[in-house]
Structures are given as structure tokens and as C-alpha cells.
């Protein structure tokens, strides 16, 4: 059974204070690892897909990296509008299309 663990559960940063969110996973053959952002009362918003160890993707202040056991979401010089819950999910190669999600990291960026 696929498992995803995200840490920390909650993170409070000052504006401009860079940090990283962690996503550890156990999967029977990784087809893809996905990062989403979720604002309160809204649906998850797709950010990145990573397919193989060593892969990196960037979007504005966010950079996602992948190893064989975990993924990191690096946030550089965050702004208050980056405050949200960040979700990590995996999809395996068994043929199932379901995503297995972690519980998320609640990020709060204070001005």
C-alpha cells in the first residue's frame, strides 16, 4: 500500500524567510509525484509533477525536487500570498490511477 508522510504539519515563516517542506513516500514503483496547493474552502491547485529521482521543477518562488524516497518543496523568499496548505501525492505503476495524498503542510507567511 502506498504511503505519503508530509512534514512539518504546520510552518510559520516571516516574509522573505526561505524554507523547505518534506514529503516522504513509500510506493511500489513510482509513476509520478505530484504537488498541489490548497487554499481554505477551495480545491487543490496543481503545481508540479516529478517522475524520476534527480528531477527538479520551478515555478516562481517554488522549486520541487525528487529523490528515491522523498520530495522537497523549497520556498524562496516567500510572500504572504504563498500561505496555503501544500499537498503531496503519489501515483504508482500498478495500473491504478488513484492518487495517494499526504496530510499536507499548512504554511503561514507573515508580513
Partner 1 sequence: NAGVMQNPRHLVRRRGQEARLRCSPVKGHSHVYWYRQLPEEGLKFMVYLQKENIIDESGMPKERFSAEFPKEGPSILRIQQVVRGDSAAYFCASSPYGGAGTGGMNEQFFGPGTRLTVL
- The rounded distance, in Å, linking the Cα atoms of 103 and 111 is 26
Quick one: which segment of 21-29, 31-39, 58-66, 68-76 binds partner 1 (CB under 8 A)?
31-39
The reply on whether position 28 binds partner 1 by CB under 8 A is no
> Smallest distance from the beta carbon of 18 to partner 1, in angstroms?
26
> Smallest distance from the beta carbon of 71 to partner 1, in angstroms?
15
**With 0-12 CB in 10 A as exposed, 13-18 as middle and 19+ as buried, what is 83?**
middle
- Residue 87's closest CA among 16, 28, 25, 31? 25
Residue ranges that bind partner 1, judged by CB under 8 A:
31-32, 34, 36, 41-46, 49, 51, 87, 89, 91, 95-104
Amino acid at each position: 500500500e502506498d504511503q505519503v508522510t508530509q512534514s512539518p504539519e504546520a510552518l510559520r515563516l516571516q516574509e522573505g524567510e526561505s524554507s523547505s517542506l518534506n514529503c516522504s513516500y513509500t510506493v511500489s514503483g513510482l509513476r509520478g509525484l505530484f504537488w498541489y496547493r490548497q487554499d481554505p474552502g477551495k480545491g487543490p491547485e496543481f503545481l508540479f509533477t516529478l517522475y524520476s529521482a534527480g528531477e527538479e521543477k520551478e515555478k516562481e518562488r517554488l522549486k520541487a525536487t525528487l529523490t528515491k524516497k522523498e520530495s522537497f518543496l523549497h520556498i524562496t523568499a516567500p510572500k504572504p500570498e504563498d500561505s496555503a496548505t501544500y499537498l503531496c501525492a503519489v501515483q504508482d505503476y500498478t495500473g491504478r490511477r488513484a492518487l495517494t495524498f499526504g496530510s499536507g503542510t499548512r504554511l503561514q507567511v507573515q508580513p
